[in-house]
Amino acid sequence: MFTLAHRITLTTLLLALASPSLAWFSWFKSSYAETRYPIVLAHGMAGFDNIGPLNYWYGIPGDLKARGGTVYLTQVSSFNSSEVRGEQLLAQVEDILAISGASKVNLIGHSHGSQSVRYVAAVMPGRIASATAVGGPNKGSPVADLVDDVSGLVGDDLTGVVGSIVSGFGSIIGLAAGEKLPQDALAGLYSLTTEGAADFNRRFPAGVPTTACGDGAHRVNGVRYYSWSGTRHLTNALDPIDIPLAATGAAFIGKSDWQNDGLVGRCSSHLGDVIRDDYRMNHLDEVNQVVGLTYLFETDPVVVFRNHANRLKNAGL
Ligand code: CA
């Protein structure tokens, strides 16, 4: 039988055992995304200006900050060349370095933001700890090729699959489907064609695989390179953007790099250390869009970012 003294002793012992583990759990939870260097997010080509850079990464910055991460959001032209967008990001990264006092930053770019972070990492590698591409069209996109090819055509001139691909692209980037794309969009679009991407890669090759579908160099000039992407279209019945992404995905039919997220091929997304290239995500699921409507039964895009922050932390970055 336990005496009162025994009970007090036992209770004290249990509390003593519980307290450090609770403290440890709390510490673990709050520092999981606490990287050594701040994380800087760079958005892609899209008509997201109206909702601003915060909501582009739906729920992601808040999640990282809740786990000890320091996150900076950037905003560049929605539609412009990789170089112009890269220069815009460079100026913002210089500001972030000055404001934060950090010696380096970790860059993460989605979609055309991949070229932006690669540009900055190439221009000032000494100040960049890592560059990560999420759904990045590093070797271009057949959707861009097709839209670029037919951009002079409008309305009734576009029929069948080609028309639905162009309309789908228009819907995704926030323009009226079927209308002629504005010239600034076309200028930016060229950067994402196979030809435009190859031209950029000749000048900024760091991390880009030299094989058709392998990893790229994991470290170039001291900068670590990473990437991930998805290969699905219809992932959530409530998300209106899934249908246009399935339409643009038709541009990949017959291509060697045929698996895609609706806009970017699986192999084209590869940069540096390929973390995974077949998540059950479409191009916008990758940034938890639209408003968190993603596939319910597999990896949450927010968790993928969270785990990457932890990966950077564990790498001392
Ligand atoms: Ca979605």
Cα(119) to centroid(ligand 1), Å: 28
97-141: pLDDT as tens digits: 999 999 999 999 999 999 999 999 999 999 999 999 999 999 999
* Contact present, 188 and 179 (Cβ < 8 Å): no
Q: Ligand 1 centre and the CA of 262: distance in Å?
A: 11
Give alpha helix (H) positions in the chain. Answer: 4-31, 52-56, 60-66, 82-100, 113-123, 142-149, 160-172, 183-191, 194-203, 242-249, 301-314
The neighbour count for residue 192, using CB atoms within 10 Å, is 27
Is residue 139 within 8 A of residue 255, CB to CB? The reply is: no
Please, which pLDDT band fits residue 20 given cuts at 50, 70 and 90?
very low
Tens digits of residue pLDDT in 169-220: 877 776 554 556 666 677 788 999 999 999 999 999 999 999 999 999 999 9
* Cα–ligand 1 centroid distance for 231 (angstroms): 12
Average pLDDT score over residue span 153-157 = 60
Per-residue tokens: 277: 């290239």
Distance in Å, CA 188 to ligand 1 centroid: 24
- CA-based nearest residue to 136, from 86, 180, 197, 211: 197
* Confidence band, pLDDT 50/70/90 cuts, at residue 43: very high
Provide the residues around ligand 1 (an ion) whose CB is within 5 A. 239, 285, 293-294
- Which of the two residues, 3 and 35, has the higher pLDDT score? 35
The pTM assigned to this predicted structure is: 0.87
Whole-number pLDDT of residue 15? 44
Active site residues: 111, 261, 283
Mean pLDDT of all residues in 48-65: 78
279 Cα to the center of ligand 1, angstroms: 13
- The tokens 């380096």 sit on which residue? 104
Q: What's the mean pLDDT in 57-83?
A: 93
Band (pLDDT 50/70/90 cuts) for residue 299 is confident
Taking residues 69-91, what's their average pLDDT? 92
255 CA from centroid of ligand 1 (Å):
24
Burial per residue of 122-156, b for 16 or more beta-carbon CB atoms within 10 angstroms, e otherwise: beebebbbbbbbbbbbbbbbbbbbbbbeebeeeee
pLDDT attached to residue 272? 98
Residue 178: per-residue pLDDT = 52
- How many angstroms is it from 242 CA to the middle of ligand 1? 6
- pLDDT greater than 80 at residue 152: no
Size of the chain, expressed as the number of residues it contains: 317
Which residues in 249-288 are b (16+ Cβ under 10 Å) and which e? bbbbeeeebebbbbbbbbbbbbbbbbbebebebbbbbbbb
Give the distance (Å) from ligand 1 centre to CA of residue 128: 31
- For the chain, give the percent of residues with pLDDT over 90: 68
The Cα–Cα gap between 315 and 159 comes to 51
| The predicted structure's pLDDT at residue 159 | 62
